[in-house]
Amino acid sequence: MGGFDHATAAHQHRTGRILSAHMAGNQPPKRQESPADTAYLHAITDRCLVPFAAPYEMDQVSRVAALKLLNEILDVGAHAMPDLDDWTAGVSETAAPPVPVSDESFLERDFYSSFIGRLKLMGAAIVEKPGTYAPSAAITLQGTKARRWSLRQQVSLDFVQPDFILQTADPDIPKIAIFADGRAFHAAAGCNRVADDADKRTALRKMGYLVWSFSRDDLQRFKASETVESSWFDPHAANLINTNFSVRPALLRLMTKDPVSQLLDFLGDPDIEAWKYMSTWMPYLFVRSDNRVHADHSTAPTAAAEILDGKTPFTAAGTDVCWAWRDGDWRSPREPETRNNGPG
């Protein structure tokens, strides 16, 4: 028998007392019980029997039948006394076990509420719907043009299940697979999924998806509207890219913002070609006055391994201008792009 509260216990005790008085006198309860108990027995009889009686059988529901059924439920013989202690001996009150909440699910919930909240502040029309796992949202946002987006959670794509899928009806704008990369489930000792994540996300890109990811720190920066000047972002290099390759300055400024803010900006103006063009020339952000050497560009993969091993890259002489940049564990080797007006 399941757990019960104090009201249930009082209900059992009163029912047992009335039945005990009835069995002791072997008389119909209405001759033994008080007026209050009579009304009470009527109430419990209705509550126990009426919901199980068909409408056309309501006139057949009787007090005698109720007592007989209660005796059977209490396992009381025809000439025995109901024993409240025996009846409740097997009843125990236990609390339901707490539902474990992982850091990952908390991160997803925090993203959803923060992201939707910011969109509302931006004037977007939001229609939310409850779901089996989590709510979904239909988003109408005024940007370069009005677009309607849908945000769904935990959508299975056979080999991978992104935390969110964001998409619009425009066939020229790819679906966006969003991953909340909590450290405990992606990059912790005993649970290092970095290589597996990279393989699955590469496969998503080949399917035409944009892949967007963020960490807890990224989300906190977004919620605080905090802009951090990353050590790898050099304003001089950004000006060089803008001057030589005509990359949108607004997109370059986005590089100093968190991934969630970048995603919001993309929703307002999802110009895929502009983002692709910027990514082509983004490696020049790592050009410094002291990190360019003449080497063979075909050695770039070897240079990457050398950087990871803490060695000096591009040691063999060549005719191509190559560069590498490192900041703690963040490293980027680069060979030159084939464009005539690039820096030499």
pTM above 0.85, yes or no: no
DSSP character string of 10-62: HHHHHHHHHHHHHHHHTS-HHHHS-HHHHHHHHHHHHHHHGGGS-GGGGGG--
Q: Which amino acid is at 319?
A: T
> Longest C-alpha distance within the chain, in Å?
113
Per-residue pLDDT of the chain (344 residues; tens, 9 = 90+): 444 444 455 555 656 666 566 555 544 444 455 655 555 555 554 455 566 666 666 667 676 777 777 777 777 666 666 677 776 777 777 777 665 554 447 889 999 999 999 999 999 999 999 887 789 999 999 888 899 999 999 999 988 999 999 999 999 999 999 999 877 666 667 777 788 888 999 999 999 999 999 999 999 999 998 887 777 888 888 998 989 999 999 998 888 899 999 999 999 999 999 999 999 998 888 888 888 899 998 998 899 888 888 888 998 899 999 988 887 655 555 555 544 333 33
Phi, psi of 155 (to 5 degrees): -90, 120
Q: Where do the domains of the chain lie?
A: 6-88, 103-230+259-269, 287-334
List of residues 6+ apart from 39 with CB closer than 8 A: none
The structure tokens listed for 141 are 């946002």
Query: What integer pLDDT is reported at residue 118 of this predicted model?
Result: 96
> Exposure of 115 by Cβ count < 10 A (0-12 exposed, 13-18 middle, 19+ buried)?
buried
- Alpha carbons 167 and 148: distance in angstroms, whole number: 9
Q: Return the C-alpha torsion angle 226, 229, 233, 235, nearest 10.
A: 110
Residue with tokens 């605080």: 224
